[in-house]
Amino acid sequence: MGNVNNAAAGMQKDAKIGKSYGEGGGDSQNLSPQSKKMRARDPGTLFSLEDHVCRHCFGRLVSSADAGGTRRYLCSNCGASATGPGPDVLCACGVRLKSSALGGRPVLACMPNPAPTAEFPSLFVAGGVKS
């Protein structure tokens, strides 16, 4: 019986690993020959997780830098967005009573979830403000 390595050597095919950038073939998902870690990132696409929830759906908010020193706030759940100096432009903290007798005080506040569970794993929730 012949050496297995010699037998396999006779059946070898030219194999390509990754994408050949000069030929346009290959099956790699990396579309740039430059390392992803080395590419400059567009500041408008970088988001930070906020410790606040959306006033519309109570989904988690993310934010990015915007022109003029303000921030763009975006709900990661429903997609609602607003621009302003703070998260209260979109978060539940900005919900206030309209009644003049109560002075437009806030009725909700964003806070850490005191007891996350498998059924409700949210890290931040909106809770009622005690008067």
Whether this model's pTM surpasses 0.75: no
- At position 56, the amino acid (one-letter code) is H
Give per-residue pLDDT as tens, 19-58.
455 555 555 555 555 555 555 556 556 889 999 999 999 9
β 108-112/81-84 pair status: unpaired
Residues 53, 109 contacting (CB under 8 angstroms): no
| Percentage of the chain exceeding pLDDT 70 | 61
Residue 51: both structure tokens together:
């410790």
